[in-house]
């Protein structure tokens, strides 16, 4: 008894902490008893204590008890890994690329594997009958899958149970598997001010080779329509994805004002294949490295739906309107 008087009623409140600093009250009826019982799960891993109080206002706090997965292997390193119970790599699901980024209270984890046997994963035991929050993989063009999911920041450096799902809809159950979340090499999401910016890598700094002069965002139903006015004419299209993606679709093409005198370098990678000149409200293909040069010999265009086509380089210049506010679209 808190005060040594057996007639005084005691109150119990169990608390949980992921880091030993911030504590929250546990839920459930037995969280207010002297013995706290719960079903083990990933989100239950951490530290526990009990706050005991009596009707006289006396309060004591129990020693901290640490709850872990007793069978979890020991794993180290700076990469996400899927391992067996002995800590060795599970060769049927080798993580060849991994990225961990801190996003507020969570870690966003992206992993890629060249193995094609598993297209989903579940952060939990293989014996769990109900597998909630299944992470579905995205198939890669060159084979394998990529997976993106979030876990609390407190999971960094921990080894968590994981169950892999087969492409035939069944779950792998021959042995226990674990996924290691490293505490080294964690990146931070880049941040920017309210205006639209193109940010270089994970630095958070503006990519000065693509300067957005002005931007406009309009809500259309569940989508946002973005309009960007970019300084210069070096870039002709945008792909919303990572540089390593083999299939870069969809691509958003740039447009150019016919009323503005300008010369546009049209590139394939780092190589300039065509040069388009806009002058006096007309667009003309000045040069091209194609063998037939048909696009260069075409007349300048200025009226709606008129086009200049360079088939070898897969370049099309099209006038989308014929008023002062209309634009010439360059497509590659």
Express each pLDDT in 7-43 by its tens digit.
678 999 999 998 888 899 998 888 899 998 876 666 6
Mean pLDDT of 287-312: 90
What's the pLDDT score for residue 2?
A: 47
Mean pLDDT of 83-89: 93
**How far is it, in rounded angstroms, from Cα 209 to Cα 241?**
18
User: Taking 60 as the threshold, does the pLDDT of residue 152 lie above it?
Assistant: yes
Which tops the pLDDT comparison, 88 or 305?
Answer: 88
CB neighbourhood size of 61 (10 A): 12
Express each pLDDT in 162-192 by its tens digit.
999 999 999 999 999 999 999 877 776 655 5
The model's confidence at residue 322, banded by pLDDT at 50, 70 and 90, is very low
Mean pLDDT of 46-74: 87
User: Taking 60 as the threshold, does the pLDDT of residue 221 lie above it?
Assistant: no
Please, are residues 177 and 163 in contact by the beta-carbon 8 Å criterion?
A: yes
What's the pLDDT score for residue 165?
A: 96
Helix locations, the chain, DSSP H: 294-297
User: Taking 80 as the threshold, does the pLDDT of residue 90 lie above it?
Assistant: yes
What's the pLDDT score for residue 106?
A: 86
The token duo for 141 is 């063009």
User: Taking 50 as the threshold, does the pLDDT of residue 54 lie above it?
Assistant: yes
What's the pLDDT score for residue 202?
A: 58
Q: Is 41 helix (H, G, I), strand (E, B) or coil?
A: coil
Please, are residues 300 and 281 in contact by the beta-carbon 8 Å criterion?
A: no
Express each pLDDT in 36-51 by its tens digit.
887 666 667 789 999 9
User: Please, is 165 exposed, middle or buried when counting C-beta atoms within 10 Å of its C-beta (0-12, 13-18, 19+)?
Assistant: buried
What integer best gives the mean pLDDT of the chain? 82
Sequential DSSP letters for 196-251: ---B-TTS--B-TTS-EEEEEEEEETTEEEEEEEESSSS--EEESS-TT-SS--SE
Alpha carbon 134 to chain centroid, angstroms: 16
What percent of the chain clears pLDDT 70, i.e. is strictly above it?
84
Please, are residues 77 and 48 in contact by the beta-carbon 8 Å criterion?
A: no
What's the pLDDT score for residue 49?
A: 95
Q: Could you give all domains of the chain from N- to C-terminal order, each with its CATH number?
A: 10-67 (no CATH), 81-187 (2.60.40), 190-231 (no CATH), 233-331 (2.60.320.10)
pTM of the model: 0.45
Residue the block writes with tokens 């260069």: 296
Q: Are strands 95-103 and 106-113 parallel, antiparallel or unpaired?
A: antiparallel
């Amino acid at each position: 008894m808190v005060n040594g008087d057996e007639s005084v009623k005691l109150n119990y409140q169990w608390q949980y902490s992921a880091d030993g600093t911030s504590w929250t009250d546990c839920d459930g009826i037995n969280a207010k008893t002297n013995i706290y019982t719960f079903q083990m799960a990933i989100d239950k891993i951490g530290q526990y204590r009990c706050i005991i109080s009596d009707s006289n206002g006396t309060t004591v706090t129990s020693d901290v008890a640490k709850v872990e997965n007793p069978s979890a292997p020991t794993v180290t390193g700076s990469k996400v890994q899927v391992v067996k119970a002995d800590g060795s790599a599970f060769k049927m699901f080798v993580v060849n690329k991994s990225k961990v980024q801190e996003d507020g209270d969570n870690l966003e984890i992206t992993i890629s594997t060249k193995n094609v046997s598993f297209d989903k994963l579940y952060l939990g035991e293989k014996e769990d009958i109900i597998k909630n929050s299944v992470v579905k993989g995205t198939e890669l063009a060159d084979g394998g899958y990529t997976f993106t999911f979030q876990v609390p920041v407190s999971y960094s450096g921990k080894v968590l149970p994981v169950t892999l799902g087969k492409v035939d809809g069944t779950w792998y159950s021959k042995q226990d598997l674990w996924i290691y979340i490293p505490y080294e090499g964690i990146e931070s999401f880049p941040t920017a001010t309210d205006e639209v910016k193109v940010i270089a890598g994970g630095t958070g700094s503006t990519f000065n080779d693509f300067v957005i002069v002005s931007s406009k965002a309009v809500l259309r139903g569940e989508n946002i329509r973005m309009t960007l006015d970019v300084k210069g004419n070096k870039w002709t299209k945008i792909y919303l994805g990572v540089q390593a993606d083999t299939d870069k679709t969809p691509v958003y093409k740039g447009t150019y004002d016919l009323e503005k005198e300008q010369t546009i370098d049209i590139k394939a990678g780092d190589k300039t294949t065509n040069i388009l000149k806009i002058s006096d409200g007309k667009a003309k293909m000045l040069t091209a490295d194609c063998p037939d040069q048909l696009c260069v010999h075409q007349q300048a265009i200025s009226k709606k739906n008129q086009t200049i086509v360079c088939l070898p380089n897969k370049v099309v210049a099209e006038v989308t309107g014929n008023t002062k506010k209309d634009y010439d679209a360059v497509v590659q």
